């Protein structure tokens, strides 16, 4: 999971440069593994509320909590 997150954010950083290219991973090393527990707190027609706790795998210490609200735009034909 940690390497996936690093890959996503570093690729996004590359895509934000004037060159705008994502590239292909040749090597990726991460020094620590994390665990993420995520759940949906409330699911509505137009909004969803989710949460996640991030833990350091080596000692199961919680290092972050996230709250995420997402909208589901209504698409008109």
Q: Is there a single domain that holds both residue 74 and residue 54? A: yes
Domain check: are 37 and 18 in the same one? no
Task: Say yes or no: 14 and 36 in one domain.
Answer: no
Its domain, for residue 37, covers 32-77
Q: What percentage of the chain carries pLDDT values higher than 70?
A: 100
In three-state form (DSSP H/G/I as H, E/B as E, the rest C), the secondary structure along the chain is: CHHHHHHHHHHHHHHCCCCCCCCCCCCCCCCCCEEEEEEEEEECCCEEEEEEEEEECCCCEEEEEEEEEEECCCCCC
Say if residue 24 is in the same domain as residue 36.
no
Residues 9 and 46 grouped into a single domain: no
How many domains in the chain? 2
The total of other beta-carbon atoms located within 10 Å of residue 5's CB is 13
pTM summary value: 0.74
Q: Are strands 34-43 and 47-56 parallel, antiparallel or unpaired?
A: antiparallel
What is the torsional sign of CA 27, 32, 35, 40? negative
pLDDT tens, position by position, 11-44 = 999 999 999 999 999 999 999 999 999 999 999 9
């Amino acid at each position: 999971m940690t390497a996936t997150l690093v890959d996503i954010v570093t690729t996004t950083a590359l895509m934000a440069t004037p060159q705008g290219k994502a590239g292909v991973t040749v090597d990726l090393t991460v020094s620590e593994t994390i665990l993420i527990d995520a759940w949906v707190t409330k699911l509505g027609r137009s909004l969803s509320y989710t949460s996640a706790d991030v833990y350091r795998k080596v000692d199961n210490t919680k290092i972050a909590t996230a709250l995420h609200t997402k909208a589901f735009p209504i698409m008109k034909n």
